[in-house]
Amino acid sequence: MNMNGRSTTAGIQADIAKGWKPNNYLTNMSMAYFAQAGDYVAPSIFPICPVPLASSYYYKFSKGDLARDNVRRKPPYGKVTPAIMGQTDDTYKCEVDQIIVGIDQIEALNFQRSRAPGVADPRRAKVRFASEQMLIHLDILFASGFFKAGVWGQEWAGVTSSASGKQFLKFSDANFDPVHFFDERIKDIKQSGRRKPNRLALGYDAYLALKNHPDLLERVKYTGTTANPANVTPAVLAQLFGVEQVKVLESTYNAGGIGEENMQFICDSKGALLCYATPSPAIDEPSAGYIFTWDMLGNGAWTAFDQFEGENGTHSEFVEGLMSTDMRKTADDLAIYMKDCV
C-alpha cells in the first residue's frame, strides 16, 4: 500500500475504501497517552470536537437574535410574526499530519533478550514518542495561532505604571489587584458573550507572579498547617478567580535544529488567556475555540497508528501515526487575551 497516499485526507479515504485499517493495539495505546497529556495544553483549553467529514461547515448564530426577547403576545384569532434567528456558516478543513518512526529489528531483539524493563515491545516506546510529538505539534499550533497578541478582539496589556483603558498593572506588581481584575474580565465576557468563562490559561512566568503575589498569599495564609503550609496552586487560583480550571502552560520543546538543543516554553510565558470552552463539544455549541478532529474510521479515535515492514534486507519496521485536525477560533467574544503580564 502506498504510504505517501496517506499524507492527505483523500489518500486516507482511498486507502480506507481499499480495506486499510490501523493497528487497534497501537491506536488504543496512543489514545491512552493522549488521555494523560500532563503538561500539554491545547486539548485542555480548546475542546476536541470529532467530526465525520474532513471538511464541512459549522454554525455561527446571530448573538443579537439569540439574546433579544422575541416572544410576543398572541393576538386574538391571529398569530405573531415569526422570530428571526440569523445564522451564518463557516468552514473547517482537517489537514492530515503524519509521523513515522523506525525500529531496527536486530537492535530491538538484543534489547528484548536483555529483559530490560519497558523494552519487551519496542513499538510501545515508539508509539509513546509519536504521541508526544503529536501533543507538541498541537501545542505549537495553539501557541502560534491563538495564545498571542493580535488574535482576539478583546486584548489587555500589562504596564509598569499608570494603567488606563485596556491596561493593567503587571501581575508582578504588588499594587495589582488580581481578584478584582479577573472579576471584571469575567464580567466582560459574560456580558458580551453570554457565557461565563470557565478556563484560564497562564504562561509559566505569569503563573509564578500570581503564585507569589502578596494579595493572594494574604488570602490563603490561614488555610494551611505546619505540615502543609498554605500555597497558591492552580486549584487555589481557580477557586479565587471563580473559574473551573486554571491551566499552567508548562509544555516545552526543542527549538533547535537536528543536532542542536534549544529548549523553550511553547507558549508565551508572560501571556494569559481567559475564555469559555464548552464541556459538551458539538458543531452548534458555542466555545471560544475548537480542535476539529476528523474521525476517519468512524470509531471515535482521532489518531490512527499502524506498522509496516521496511525494505527486504533492512531488517527494519516502522510505526506510523496519523491525525487530522483543524484548530479554530469559533467565538471571538468568549475570550480575552492578556499580554506582558510580567
CA distances from 253 to 231, 233, 323 (A): 28, 24, 20
Give me the pLDDT at residue 127, please. Answer: 86
CATH label of the domain that carries residue 223: 3.90.1690.10
pLDDT at 218 over 90: yes
Q: Is residue 287 part of a domain?
A: yes
> Rounded CA gap, 30 and 76, in Å?
63
* pLDDT, tens digit, 9 for 90 and up, residues 249-269: 999 999 999 999 999 999 999
Please provide the average confidence, as pLDDT, over all residues in the chain. Answer: 87
Q: Is residue 141 part of a domain?
A: yes
> Taking the model in full, what pTM does it have?
0.84
Which comes out higher in pLDDT, residue 214 or 1? 214
Lowest mean pLDDT among 13-17, 118-122, 243-247: 118-122
Which secondary structure element, helix H or strand E, spans residue 122, and what is its range? helix 122-145
Pairing label, strands 155-159, 95-104:
unpaired
Q: Is residue 208 part of a domain?
A: yes
CA distances from 244 to 25, 60, 188, 234, 278 (A): 34, 25, 17, 10, 11
Q: Is residue 138 part of a domain?
A: yes
User: How many whole angstroms from its chain centre is CA 318?
Assistant: 28
Q: Is residue 106 part of a domain?
A: yes
To 10 degrees, what angle do helices 204-211 and 234-241 make? 70
- How many domains does the chain contain in total? 1
Give me the pLDDT at residue 1, please. Answer: 46
Give φ, ψ of 254 to 5 degrees.
Answer: -90, 110
- The percent helix, strand, coil of the chain (3-state, each to 5) is 30, 25, 40
Q: Is residue 180 part of a domain?
A: yes
Query: Could you list the residue range(s) of the whole structural domain that residue 324 is in?
Result: 3-65+85-339
Q: Is residue 76 part of a domain?
A: no
* pLDDT, tens digit, 9 for 90 and up, residues 85-115: 887 888 999 999 999 999 888 887 776 676 6
Give me the pLDDT at residue 31, please. Answer: 57
| Percent of the chain predicted with pLDDT > 90 | 58
Q: Is residue 136 part of a domain?
A: yes
* pLDDT, tens digit, 9 for 90 and up, residues 41-54: 898 899 988 898 89
Residue with grid cell 496589556, as numbered in its chain: 157
Lowest mean pLDDT among 25-39, 95-109, 282-296: 25-39
Which comes out higher in pLDDT, residue 150 or 22? 150
